[in-house]
Amino acid sequence: MEVAKPLKGKKILVTGGTGSLGKTLVRRILLGEMGMPERITVFSRDEAKQHFMRLEYLHRTAATDEVIYQNSRNVLQFRIGDVRDSAAVAGALADTDVVFHAAALKQVPSCEYFPYEAVLTNINGAANIVRAIRELRLPVETVVGISTDKACKPINVMGMTKALQERVLLEANRDLPGCRIMCVRYGNVIASRGSIVPLFVEQVRNKQPLTVTLPEMTRFLLSLDRAVDTVFAALRTGRPGETYVPKVAAAKIVDVAKALMNDEELPIVFTGIRPGEKIHEIMVSEEECYRTVERGDYYAILPVLPEVRGTDELTPALDAEYSSKDNNISGGELRELLRSAGGEIERFLSAAG
């Protein structure tokens, strides 16, 4: 059942809150669109990022952003800690109602070279959250885990560990009846750190060749705000064990490069596929189709475990996998999607006309 203001008066923990998604999520919560919480705690291990995020809010003025400025002074706090550290996680969860679990190692090549580090953060981090809630009998009401399209039919370490993170979180609904645990799964966030789009913008500015791995490579694309919309949709209407997937556009990476060239006719250099990289991404596999339902602008993948899924009859929303290789956009439509990312990307495209 949908709750209009599910965060009103709640104590919120955002793991990985200094990352691209975490920062946008905190900003959107501070706008009060989901109800004004009693407290937001940003939990991460990088003290420098926390320091600069704190300064960003301290230096806001009422004239530039009055709502966020006032609300951040009243409710925002920071906590140093690592999701790998079970004691730190337990301490952060001790007085929390809602958890947004965004902490992760997410760079595909890095995870290939340091796979066990990805295990420690992406799998053990989720396990530490579940363990603390269960063993300490914490009154956490909701956990939303942030996953990725790479968790679907994974071929790389990052996707494999994220797939297991999903299962660790969603399985916990079996013996945590007082806590609703869900996941969201989405594709390439246009303006996030490590995304190909900021790299292309820099290459265009410097009149350099644009580097693309393979001509046929495709990706799902969405803005940071669309990613947060997905998190909020799960929070409003998601049921225990479900995974929310947004209906978003996909494009060939070559077309993304061309859309950012601004009629410059810069060369494109194909560099070859990187370790662990997929040619196409999938957000719902053909095995998941039969338990995927439609929820407005989203698909909801129902839990794999029948004890969590229940026995309600359903009408599957898909009859094939949901893949980035299908229905690709290009040209003006792609430019508008890139512009929707806001910030530096929007300014770059607007300046170019």
- pLDDT, tens digit, 9 for 90 and up, residues 76-123: 999 999 999 999 999 999 999 999 999 999 999 999 999 999 999 999
181: in domain: yes
Determine the 3-state secondary structure of 129 from DSSP.
Answer: helix
44: part of which helix (H) or strand (E)? strand 39-44
CA–centroid distance for 192 within its chain: 10
314: in domain: yes
Query: What is the pLDDT, as a whole number, of residue 1?
Result: 43
Does residue 61 carry a pLDDT above 70? no
Torsion (CA) 261, 262, 265, 268 in degrees, nearest 10? 10
Is residue 317 left, alpha or beta, with left meaning phi > 0 and alpha meaning psi from -120 to 50? Answer: alpha
Using CA atoms, how far apart are residues 161 and 116, in angstroms rounded to an integer? 10
- The two beta strands, 322-323 and 282-284, are antiparallel
Beta pairing partners, 181: 143
147: in domain: yes
Query: What is the pLDDT, as a whole number, of residue 73?
Result: 81
316: in domain: yes
2: in domain: no
* Residue 263, domain extent: 11-351
For 60, the token pair is 């806001």
Annotated catalytic, 325? no
Torsion (CA) 148, 150, 152, 155 in degrees, nearest 10? -160
Fill in the DSSP letter of residue 73: H
pLDDT tens by residue, 221-266: 999 999 999 999 999 999 999 999 999 999 999 999 999 997 788 9
| Candidates 10, 11, 23, 150; catalytic one | 150
Number of domains composing the chain? 1
322: in domain: yes
1: in domain: no
pLDDT tens by residue, 305-352: 999 988 778 899 999 999 999 999 999 999 999 988 877 888 888 776
Any alpha helices (H) in the chain, and if so which ranges?
20-30, 47-58, 62-75, 86-93, 108-113, 115-118, 124-135, 157-171, 196-205, 224-237, 253-259, 306-309, 331-339, 343-351
Percentage of the residues of the chain whose pLDDT score is greater than 70: 96
Residues 32 and 41: beta-carbon distance below 8 Å: no
Using CA atoms, how far apart are residues 131 and 74, in angstroms rounded to an integer? 31
49: in domain: yes
Average model confidence (pLDDT) for the chain? 92
Query: What is the pLDDT, as a whole number, of residue 347?
Result: 82
CA–centroid distance for 263 within its chain: 32
CATH at residue 118: 3.40.50.720
